[in-house]
Chains A and B, each alone.
Chain A
Amino acid sequence: MNLRASSTRQYIRTALKNDNLRQAVNKATQTALQKRLAIVEQTPNWEDLRLRAHSIKQNVIEHLDEYLERFEKKCGENGIHVHWATDAEEARTIIKKIVRQNNVASIVKSKSLTTEEIHLNPFLTNLGVETLETDLGEYIVQLLDQTPSHLTAPALHLTRQDVGRIFQQKLGVDYTENPHELLQIARKKLRQKFLQADMGISGVNFAIASSGAFVVIENEANARLSMGLPRIHLAVMGIEKLIPTFQDLPLFLKLLPPSATGQKQTVYVNIIGGAQYDVLGEGPEQVHIVLLDNGRSKIAADVELRETLFCIRCGACLNVCPIYQQVGGHAYGWIYMGPIGATLIPQFLGLHEGRFAPFLSSLCGACHEICPMRIRIPHHLLKLRNQVVEAGFSKKGEKSVFKLWAFLAQHPVLYRLTTWLPGKIQIIYRRPFPAPGYWRKRALGLFDSRGFRRRFLDEQKQRKRRANIDQQHGMTT
């Protein structure tokens, strides 16, 4: 993970030259967008659904303490063990304790960004616990020792040939680029692991405050298997994932799958409210849930920016983002990527570490337009840019330039002079000025040293003169 300006620029340059990557990203995002649109067009009250979901999330975030307490109480009644973690380290410590207490030797995981956020996989591997991702895309990315490049489609940046080579190298199988065969290889490997694993780990899509249950949605059945086979299940959940009641769930189920993958509903909606299957010796004997803060409660303090906690991680803003479409998710340098990632990075990692992310946007607003939760992402990016500047983390010298510019803009005569001058200079030089990067592949826009004001005022004078002449003329005839 590297968020420095130079490395981001370097990454972007490399990505822009990688035609495979750009094609893969482009194809994947366009497919998702088209499928999404087909469903949205069938849903006449889509805008109304967005508004309602927004107001429900607003209510939850603004009363999060009450919702969390209720959730904790209800989980207790259902026999779910609830753990609270202020930060990533505490979450890892909690999980380590559970792993040790229960002699867990192997873990099957279903896709969860929150566990990526706390770097759980390397931590568990270092403890000597075999930890396998089981979502096909995550499995591929894990074999490559990479992080996902999309919120919902982790291996979106790889071609089938890439996957064939990865399987050949890492799993020792014969090379194939047939996606069906590749899936069979992964399924066979992982089925054994599912049956042997002591613990399943998942994230949480929604948690029901009034009932003490959580919801995990997916297509492959890997989450279902990881929740249904091992003797222990553990879910890691950001504290913002709550919704009030089961009666609110249908609304969110209506918004999330279309926005994410263009499905009306995912193949599986798994709802777990306690260890209930033990009668037949099926399913987990213990269910644990780790409530992770890791900066979220601080984000909730900002009346505007708390809206970024409404995110349900659908990835639609990535798919529609003209920047993401060009370079994919790794350019952002962290597990949350794309437009919403650009708002989360400085908030989670701090303004200094994340100072670059809010600027990786042309502020085009396509993200806000598509967001099922109506998060005003460009608005928040602008606010975060301001916070970066106020904290003194903007580029050296930039502040003085803008201060000088602001001074000039309050003094019309001087302001006119500073824009008149380049016009004059350009007439003589006609060469890139003042930003070489910009001009490298674009022709020069030429300053007009006469400007609109001069033209207009001259024209106005002429019109007056003509009007006077006409008048005099009229008087004489």
Chain B
Amino acid sequence: MQVALFIPCLSEHLYPQSAMSMVKILRHIGAEIDYVDGQTCCGQPAFNSGYRKEIIPIAERFIKLFRHKQYVVAPSGSCVAMVRKFYYDLDIHPNLHQARDDLAAKIFEFTEFLVDVARCDGLGGSFPHAVTYHDSCHLNRELGIHEQPRQLIRAIADVQFIEMEQSDICCGFGGTFSFKFADLSIAMTERKCRYIEESGAEYCIGADSSCLMNIEGFLRRHGKKAKTMHIADLLAASLGL
């Protein structure tokens, strides 16, 4: 099983550790890792801000880079949603339509890949802490990935998994939204963090670095005890990788 890594911008530059954890887990289940050098961004920040024309070359470049891979896996739901779903809203060159369709069918979010493709029911391991899980919006609603991460968390032998209130309510990040309407975004983050705190969990697990960055920033600034953790880091830690 050959897995080509798609490392989104935030993972590349802010959370390389989480991406490294993903690599360890993928190796652990026997995947052969392939890194496509020269990859950059999928174009999502511009797309969400209304710039479509501008990112067509980025999308086309992305499709070409990954078109011949068996599987493409990324530690982010929103970036996978961008490629799998929103590339259809771009005027991609007709010659690349087939490649776009193919790529849409073989690009996977990390937990989705583990559970649905690699048929991994769980990795076991040990993580004797109370954790809760935040459903990132694109992951949950665009890709329908809700159960997979929970299944992987529950399979850890001694973890205490607590569902927080409204685990699927937006954390308030929303990309450029968090700059454009900073006050509103913060109010939303505050609410999310309240739910995390009320759950009593030590760690809020997530599968999208963008939401985690947002939540973590708030928790840390306000001196909250709860910490965030990418699910790849959780799995790697539980296996001692």
Contacts and interface: CB of A to CB of B under 8 A. Distances in A.
Is there a direct interface between A and B, measured as CB atoms under 8 Å apart in the complex? yes
Interface of A: 9, 12-13, 16, 322-323, 326-327, 358-366, 368-369, 379, 382-383, 385-390, 394, 398-399, 402-403, 405-406, 408-410, 412, 415, 419-420, 423, 435, 437-448, 450-453, 455-457, 459-460
A409 B14 contact: no
A326 B188 contact: yes
A362 B188 contact: yes
B46 to A, nearest CB: 5
B43 interface: yes
Given A405-B46, A409-B40, A362 B173 contact: yes
A442 B51 contact: no
Contacts, number: 188
A360 B39 CA distance: 31
Contact of A12 (B15, B47, B183): B183
Contacts of A16: 183-184, 187
Interface residues of B, number: 70
B226 to A, nearest CB: 14
B141 A366 contact: yes
B186 A453 contact: no
A366 B170 contact: yes
Interface string B166-186: 001110111101111111111
B138 A440 contact: no
Interface in B178-227: 178-191, 213-214, 216-218, 220-222
A54 B184 CA distance: 32
A385 B49 contact: yes
11 contacts: A16-B183, A326-B184, A361-B177, A408-B40, A412-B40, A415-B40, A415-B41, A441-B222, A442-B221, A445-B213, A460-B35
A347 to B, nearest CB: 15
Closest 10 CB pairs of A and B: A362-B174, A437-B182, A442-B217, A385-B50, A364-B170, A389-B50, A452-B16, A365-B141, A443-B220, A364-B137
Interface string B40-66: 110101111111111101100100000
B13 interface: yes
A274 B19 CA distance: 68
B216 to A, nearest CB: 7
A362 B41 contact: no
Interface stretch (B4-12, B100-108, B114-122, B153-161): B4-12
A382 B58 contact: no
Contacts of A383: 89
Nearest to A459: B20
B13 A362 contact: no
A452 B12 contact: yes
